[in-house]
Amino acid sequence: MRGIRRPGGLPWIPWSWIRRRYTPVVWRELTHLFNAYHFLHSTMDIEKVSSRLPPRKLKDPCRRCGQCCAQLIPEPVTSEKIGKWEEEGNPVHLFHGLITEGPRAGRFYTGWFYNGARLRMCPLLFRDPESGSSFCALYHLGPGQRPPACEGYRPNWPHCEVSQRPLVP
């Protein structure tokens, strides 16, 4: 993707995953993804969030590369769950769009959306510039704070067969 440069002050964006997920480029979607990252970066202390993550253990097969999270689209969640996240100030509710067709219309939400545009990857996936590891901006909040598909996801990449670690706030 030529022409896209890293704006100053946003080293936390996982550029390699954006290049993979947004080729060929759909500029409207890409603009919405950058707006979502800018919003999160301006409302969260990303350095503080990354410092709360448990350190990677030597025998942990997960490389924290972000492959699993970058490709995961969460299943629909109820409007009650969205309301709970909103009450708790959890930004994950901002990245879900109301389902408008089918049997779940009006009662369920699905991700990843931002300002009405469907995103091709999770906007909560960040990259630590120091270690090169990817991390979830909500991981430190503990169970129930991420979409159920994220919490129950069992990675299927060869290097991740047992990488599902328990959530530790």
Q: Residue 108, SS3?
A: strand
User: 3-state DSSP call for residue 117?
Assistant: strand
Distance, CA of 84 to CA of 79 (rounded, Å)? 9
SS3 at position 114: strand
Q: In this predicted model, what pLDDT tens digit does every residue of 47-99 receive, in sequence order?
A: 888 887 777 777 766 677 777 777 777 889 999 999 999 999 899 999 999 99
CA triple 32-127-68, angle to 5 deg = 80
d(CA 78, CA 117): 20
Give, as one character, the DSSP assignment of residue 157: S
Prediction pTM value: 0.77
Yes or no: say if 147 and 138 are a contact pair by the CB < 8 Å rule: no
